[in-house]
Structures are given as C-alpha cells and as structure tokens.
Homo-oligomer: A and B are copies of this chain.
C-alpha cells in the first residue's frame, strides 16, 4: 500500500529559493539556536536546555545539582529539534565543527540516560518517582519522540549510532513500561507515533512499530484514562483538569482513532497524531485507519484551514474550533501546526498519490511556515494572524497573542526549531521515490539522486517565476506534480510540446537516458475568493500568485482598512522588491477618506488609487504596520 517514500535529505542539493533558505538556516538560525541552548545568546529568553542534560547526568552520578532544572516540562525537545536541524544541515553542508558540537551535546544526552534507558531531564532532576505518572500534562513521550527523530536524522547525516543507540534503548524502556509491564497510558501530547515510525524505518526494529501501533490502538479506547491518572497523583504541571468539559476532544482521546471524523483539540498534537496514523496506515496497509485520516484531512482542508495553510484558529488551547471559524485578526495558526500539517500531508502521499496533499504542503510552506521566520532568520512568529491592526493586535486582551512583529525567541520555543528542521529537510517533502518512479511533489531548485537510479536537476526561480526546467537522467518514470492552482500549464519534453495526462494532479514522463522537461505554470496574479461559509472572509478577496498568498501592509499602502479592492481589474506584478527579495503586486483600489465620527449617515468620500500587495511570508519585516490578507 505504501506508494512511495520520502527521499534521504542527503540526495537533495538545494539551489535557488530553497537553497538560499537552507543557507540562512545553516549560517544564522542553527548557530543562534545553539547559542540559546547554551545560554550564550544576549537579550533573549533563558533556555538552560543543555544545562538540564548536564545536570541530569550529574544527578545520575549521585551529584547534588540543587534546583538544577529550568524551563518548560518539555525543554529537552528544544535540544532534540536543534540536533535534528543541525543533522539535516550536515547533509546539505558538511561541517566538521558542527558535527563535533553535535557529538558533544549527544555525549551529555547519553550521560543523562538512566540505566534502564529512561531519558528526561525534568523528571530525572526534579523527582524520579514521578516518572510516567502524568502523561496528561508532562509531555514525557513527546520529548522522547523528538529525541528519536533527532537520533534518526543524526544517524542519516553522519552514520554515527551514538544518539540512535541511546534512543533505541529509550524506546525499549518505553516498550517495557507500556507493553511488557502493561502499564496503562497514551501520550498526552502525540508526537512519538510518527517518531517511532521513523525509528522503525531506520532500524527495522519491530518493537518500534509495535509500540507505535500500541499507542494508536489504545488511544480513545479508555476515555477515563487521564482522569484515573490524575486521581492517582498528587501533583500537576499546569493544574489542567482532565475532567474539564471538552478535555477528551481537546486531547484527541474521545473515541478510538479509527472512528474519528472531525479534527479537534490542540492543532499541533492533532496533526502530529494524524501524521503518525497515516504513516502507520501506509506501512501495514490499515485501511480503516487510512479512512479516518482521509476524513480528518477533508475536515481540515475543507473547513478548518486558513488560505495561508494555517490551522488551529483559536488561542484558547492553541486549538481547532468549529467548522468555518477562521478569524483573521485573532487567528492562532501556530507555525508548528503548519509544519505538522506538512508532515500529515507528506504521510498521506505515502498512501495515496493525490496532488491535493502536495498542494497543501506547498500552501503551508510558502505562507505560514516561512512567515514564521523573519527574512534575516533572527526573529520568529509563533502565531500567524491574517490581519494586524496596530493598537489592537498584541494589545487588546483578545489579541495579545497576535504580535505585530516577530520576537527574538520564546520561552516555549517550539516553533523556531520546527521551521529550521523543516527547511533543512525540504527535499524530503519535495521529492519522493519508489522502485521505479521518481516523484516531484513540490518544485524545488537543485539536484536530486533517487535510489531507483534516476537523477534530476531542477532549475527555477520558483516561487517568484513559474518556469521550471528539469534535466532528468536514468531509466524509469518521473512523476511531476502540477500545482492545483495552475489551471493551465504547458509541458515541453526535449524541445517538443507534449500534452501529458494529468492523473490525480501528477504528470508521468518516461525517462530513457537524458531528458529535458520544461514546464510553464500560470504566472498571473489571481484574486482568491473565500467560501462564503466562512463568516469572517465571506465576500472578501485575497491575492495569490503561484503558491504565494499576498497581503497588504500599511508601510506600502497607508491605512489598509480604508482600501476597497476593485475586483474588475486584474492585479499585475508591479516590481521586484529588493527589501523583501520578492515580487510585489499592484491592484486597482478605492480609498475611503478616514472618518472621525464613529457612526455617520454620510458615506465616506472615495478616491481611486493603486494598492500594493507583498507575499504573506514577507509580512512584518519592515516594522510594526497594519496588515490584511482578506480585503473588501
């Protein structure tokens, strides 16, 4: 049933747009994150994440570290995600110094592992008796999952088993607790499921697959599991109560996973879980689980996704809400959730080769995920609103989370490293392979070597320009996804125009020897209309060119609220902004005179004007200013 696999990041050498982003992450983000983890970054939130590992090692050697833990209960995962990013970076750009740094940090991690394989600095330093007593809140399995992912990437990058062995042993410790000893429990924050699938693929260890199956099968069977757990303990991390109304749905524990129909609860947990479900379903051909994934997918992308690929629209619990509730100004749309949506989409492509999965990956990546990071790689958004009103956004109690400019770092630093690891492993999402077919899911400039023998070079200025040239060599089939937004496209193979069949969003081209495939996609800017079932976007338009959603900023337009877009004149590409390194769009508009009176019977005077739009991923890079994606 598994239709194809992700490629190894090692097989993709990026150039162009993706290459520049990987360079930025390698040269700026990863060193900066490393500084933070070591508490060497000035003027930023304290991390203490590596110190936690060092202190946990000391504790295990019987040393007193006093109050030696600092940070969130899942602080370890910051180190894991940095290791994963750095490992992917090594695949893209070998760097012996970075590799040595990794070895050092991995050494501290190995020291922090208990004899039985247990690894978690929060519990090891603070109270070892509390291990496994609070799956509801304490993220123990989440942290383990991230470290397993890091181990897999580190092994893939370096061939070293140092961290992989640690995490293999940790997996066995978890297996022992939940399966051998049959202790009840499912992850409070899903993540480990997809990590265990990675570990299984790297090591072939059936225990990893079995443990993943266990967590998926148990979830939602005993709906009182967290209540019973809470009754058996006297402590809490955040005082959250599993008896709270909606907690079961919030934690994706209200029914067995194979019965799920609606995406609910904490959005990041949801898509991490669904990615794990889809991954497992493709591995063991579990059609019932796949059907649930398909229903959840349809619910998200058909009713709960912003035009920017953001998901989880409410700050209350960082969660999905009801269908069509997609407010632009109070949006949560966490960067991590869009990263997780890409994970889910990528795993669905393992099951079914449908272009819509690739389309959503692209939508999430080029809009919300990239918007999560400042263009210079130095500041990050956790929350990605589609409308910013200075004086209200980040200020009013209901808008406190919607910051108008990116902060340097967060106390809860999940998003920045998530963006980093996604960018550094972009090849895995852009390209796939099986025995005979090489897949191009997303357009990504650079060179790729597929295990089936096909090699490919992709030349393009995408997403700024819509011409793509592939030079392919080898024997086999090349499957290229034509983005769903490009209703028209032209294909030239070895200089000859061809009209290949579009099958579920892919064109298939036979490769015999060397071929040059040139694809031209629709490069016109378009208005995008939201379903009028979305109360907050009904009757409004946004702009799009290629995969890029655009927005209007005050810095280009003055008051954005007073602009009314003229839908009768097509938008045009106006100029390439050097500041933003991106094309801006121009559209005819009307501007209302600013009205002093709060309410008036007199309509505001209107003048004609041009309005300028910039790609959404570049917003907030030029100081605090008004911003809107959806326009009247």
Chain A residues close to B by CB (< 8 Å): 301-303, 305, 307, 314, 316-317, 319, 321-325, 327, 329-330, 387, 389, 391-392, 395-399, 485, 487, 526-536, 538-540, 544, 559, 561-562, 564, 567, 592, 594-604, 632
Contacts and interface: CB of A to CB of B under 8 A. Distances in A.
Given A322-B392, A533-B561, A539-B561, A528 B302 contact: no
**How many copies of this kind of chain does the complex include?**
2
A598 B303 contact: yes
Contact of A395 (B322, B391, B567): B322
A604 B561 contact: no
B397 A592 contact: no
Contact of A559 (B387, B532, B561, B564): B532
Given A321-B397, A562-B538, A603 B544 contact: no
A536 B389 CA distance: 10
A389 B323 CA distance: 11
A442 to B, nearest CB: 18
Nearest to A540: B632
A594 B561 contact: no
Contacts of A531: 594-600
A601 B527 contact: yes
Given A387-B535, A532-B604, 19 more contacts: A314-B398, A321-B396, A322-B392, A324-B391, A324-B392, A325-B398, A327-B398, A330-B398, A389-B535, A392-B535, A487-B601, A527-B601, A531-B594, A531-B600, A532-B561, A532-B594, A532-B595, A533-B594, A540-B632
Contacts of A534: 598
A520 to B, nearest CB: 18
SS class of chain A's interface: helix, strand, loop or mixed? loop
Contacts of A596: 531
Contacts of A392: 321-322, 324-325, 535
Contacts of A530: 595, 598-599
Contacts of A528: 599-601
Contacts of A317: 397
Contacts of A532: 559, 561-562, 592, 594-595, 604
A214 to B, nearest CB: 32
10 contacts: A321-B396, A322-B392, A329-B535, A529-B602, A531-B597, A531-B598, A531-B600, A532-B594, A535-B561, A567-B603
Nearest to A598: B531
A116 to B, nearest CB: 41
A319 B397 contact: yes
- List the 8 shortest-distance A-B pairs measured between CB atoms, nearest first: A316-B397, A538-B561, A321-B396, A531-B595, A389-B535, A539-B632, A526-B601, A532-B562
B398 A529 contact: no
Given A535-B561, A561-B539, A603-B527, A397 B314 contact: yes
A382 B526 CA distance: 44
A320 to B, nearest CB: 10
B544 A564 contact: no
A365 to B, nearest CB: 16
A323 B600 contact: no
A539 B606 CA distance: 11
Contacts of A305: 598
B601 A529 contact: yes
A532 B602 CA distance: 13
A351 B632 CA distance: 43
B307 A391 contact: no
A420 B318 CA distance: 41
Residue among A305, A316, A535, A540 with max Cβ neighbours from chain B (10 Å): A535
A55 B196 CA distance: 64
A254 to B, nearest CB: 16
A330 B485 CA distance: 34
Contacts of A322: 391-392, 395-396
Nearest to A549: B599
Contacts of A632: 538-540, 632
Nearest to A563: B539
Nearest to A317: B397
Residue among A389, A559, A564 with max Cβ neighbours from chain B (10 Å): A389
A539 B567 contact: no
A562 B395 CA distance: 32
Contacts of A389: 535
A567 B327 CA distance: 26
Contacts of A567: 603
A629 to B, nearest CB: 11
A398 B397 CA distance: 12
A545 to B, nearest CB: 11
Contacts of A321: 392, 396-398
Contacts of A327: 398
